[in-house]
Amino acid sequence: MNKSTKKFLINTAQIAGLTVAALLLWYAASAVSGSELIIPDPRTVIVLAFRLLGSGEIWLALLATLARSAAAFALSVAFAFGAALLTGVFPKTRFCVDAAVTFLRALPTIAAILTMLVVFRSSAVPVVVAFLVEFPVAYGAFERQFDRNAGLFDVCKVYNVSAANKVRFYLLPLIGREMLSVSEEGVSLCVKVVIAGEVLALPLKAVGREMYISKISVETARVAALTLLSLVLCFAISGILGYFRRRSGD
Phi, psi at 124, each rounded to 5°: -90, -20
* Sequential DSSP letters for 78-127: HHHHHHHHHHHH-GGGHHHHHHHHHHHHHS-HHHHHHHHHHHS-TTTHHH
The CATH class of the 55-249 domain is: mainly alpha
Q: Indicate the domain borders of the chain.
A: 55-249
Distance CA 64, CA 42 (A): 27
Higher pLDDT, 91 or 205: 205
What average pLDDT does the segment 57-61 reach? 91
Query: In this structure, how many other beta carbons lie within 10 angstroms of the beta carbon of residue 242?
Result: 15
Which range is most confident: 26-35, 175-184, 220-229? Answer: 220-229
DSSP H helices in the chain: 3-33, 42-53, 56-89, 94-106, 109-119, 125-148, 150-158, 163-166, 172-201, 207-216, 220-249
- Give 180's pLDDT tier (boundaries 50, 70, 90): confident
pLDDT surpassing 70 at residue 58: yes
